[in-house]
Amino acid sequence: MFCVPFFQVKWKGKDLFDLVCRTVGLRETWFFGLRYTVKDTYAWLKQEKRVLDQEVPKDSPIMFHFLAKFFPEKVEEELVQEITQHLFFLQVKKQILDEEIFCSPEASVLLASYAVQAKYGDYDPNFHKPGFLAQDELLPKRVLMQYQMTADMWEEKITAWYAEHRGIARDEAEMEYLKIAQDLEMYGVSYFHITQNKRDTDLLLGVDAQGLHIYSPNNKLNPSKSFPWSGIRNISYSEKEFTIKPLDKKKDVFKFYSSQLRVNKLILQLCIGNHDLFMRRRKVDSIEVQQMKAQAKEEKARKKMERQILAREKQMREEAERAKEEMERRLFQLQDEARLANEALLRSEETADLLAEKAQIAEEEAKLLAHKAAEAEQERQRLEVTAMKTKEEKRLMEQKMREAEQLAVKLVEQSERRLKEADHLKQDLTEAKDAERRAKQKLLEITKTTYPVNFGYEPAASRLDFKDSDMKRLSMEIERERLEYMEKSKHLQDQLKELKTEIESLKLEEQQQQQQANMYSLHNEARGYSDHITSLMCISLFQSLMCFFFFRFTFYTPHC
């Protein structure tokens, strides 16, 4: 589409058309034309008439659309120039997106992938991030509404096909797009509303590169009747009536009517142009077309070589970049290894210092252990000597124990003997008291008689004095025995205290030996021996004390 703000009054349609073709560098001009809008329909600018003599809008500026008027049967064979391919690609793409050409969802996604390849080149995941197609219109609205899919899901499907087109150039991608599009049913077809007779239902007439087709109004895909260009003898119109005469005279002539005369003129114009191109394709190419094809072939070869060179350079650049990345990675790896080696060296130096320090400490500990071993050896020798002394002391203690036991036995025997003597003394004392009581009784009886006092008293007094002297003597003997026993008991208590002191000193020494030499088994033996001696001495002490208190009670009772 372009605007013409000014042009010469005498310009014909060809002058304006040639200006546009020269501007875009187009040589395959027979496919294109300038279209403009007239009331509720469109028309093509005629090249042999002046522009202002045609029914162009009188607005300023005048709006024209530079579009493909006729379509090739096989795009890969007929479209020579790259600009021609590009213009067809843009027009067909717009017709598909505007739903002027019906396209299935699968074909729409595939066509969109080629359109993306033509626009963006090869897919690069580092550059083409998710969302890079958000601003591009690639699918018809009908397809988008047909499925409940988000824009990201459609982009993912398109990108999956797009990634497979790697290495395809822009012109090749556009050609692949057109090759797929030309197989669509509505590709290159111009539709017009017609009626077969004035009272019949509406029909559609389709004009394309193959011929004329008749469609029902609600089905533009499958024609109900077709008239190929090779089977048409003549086409004519009279006002609103249009006539198609088949080449086979046996077939009926097909007539239809259009709503306007302008439409019949447009139909006839398209029929003539498509028929001329149909006949032209089946003839030898003109010199101009041959030159164009040769130039296009050379251009394609040159571009192919350039693409190959570019591909090699790109490959070499990628290899160089990979090599650079590998070298950088290797450099980083070597730097990391060097850093790790330095750290390992530092750690080894620290470890060496630590080991040296530990060796010094170990040496000091070895000296200390040797010193402790010498002290332990001295302690062992001392403990052996102590053990020998302990054995000697044990022997002496056993001897003292035997002596103490013998002494205890003697004390028990003496206590028994003293007990017997005390019993005898008690009995003598009782007899003496009885005799005294009887003597006193007799004395009283004598004093009451008529005998002289001196005569009766002297024998009684003599008898009484005799008894008192015996009692005194007996008391003195008992006191002497008691004093002797107390002296012996005191001596025995002193010996028991001395023995207890020795036992406690032995127990204290054994406890010190237990703290200093727990590793020697002699400690257990000495402790058992000490406990045995302690228990024996406690028993002897208890027996001696019992004897002492018994004798003390026994001898104090008569005295009291």
Q: Which long-range contacts (CB under 8 A, 24 or more apart) does 104-110 make?
A: 105/143, 105/146, 105/147, 107/180, 107/184, 108/139, 108/140, 108/143, 109/139, 109/154, 109/157, 109/158, 109/161, 110/161, 110/180
CA distances from 382 to 15, 392, 518 (A): 137, 15, 14
Euclidean distance between CA atoms 377 and 135, whole angstroms = 97
Q: What token pair was written down for 496? A: 């028991």
Q: What token pair was written down for 303? A: 């571009």
Q: Which helix (H) or strand (E) holds 83?
A: helix 82-97
Q: Which amino acid is at 510?
A: E
Euclidean distance between CA atoms 470 and 159, whole angstroms = 149
Euclidean distance between CA atoms 30 and 80, whole angstroms = 12
Do residues 23 and 17 lie in contact, with contact meaning Cβ atoms separated by under 8 Å? no
Q: Which long-range contacts (CB under 8 A, 24 or more apart) does 143-152 make?
A: 143/103, 143/105, 143/108, 146/105, 147/105
Euclidean distance between CA atoms 52 and 519, whole angstroms = 132
Q: What token pair was written down for 47? A: 């090249």
Find where tokens 């559609």 sit: 204
Euclidean distance between CA atoms 291 and 314, whole angstroms = 33
The DSSP letter of residue 209 is: S
Q: Give the residue from 87, 118, 73, 103 showing the smallest Cα distance to 228.
A: 73
Do residues 551 and 415 lie in contact, with contact meaning Cβ atoms separated by under 8 Å? yes
Give Cβ neighbours of residue 317 (< 8 Å, ≥ 6 apart). Answer: none
Binding residues: 46-49, 265
Q: Which helix (H) or strand (E) holds 243?
A: strand 241-246
Give the phi and the psi of residue 4 in degrees, each rounded to 5.
Answer: -115, 95
The DSSP letter of residue 50 is: B
Q: Give the residue from 16, 74, 19, 75 showing the smallest Cα distance to 44.
A: 16
Give the side-chain half-sphere CA count within 13 A for 460.
17
Give Cβ neighbours of residue 24 (< 8 Å, ≥ 6 apart). Answer: 66, 83, 87
Give Cβ neighbours of residue 137 (< 8 Å, ≥ 6 apart). Answer: 97
Euclidean distance between CA atoms 332 and 326, whole angstroms = 10
Give Cβ neighbours of residue 5 (< 8 Å, ≥ 6 apart). Answer: 60, 61
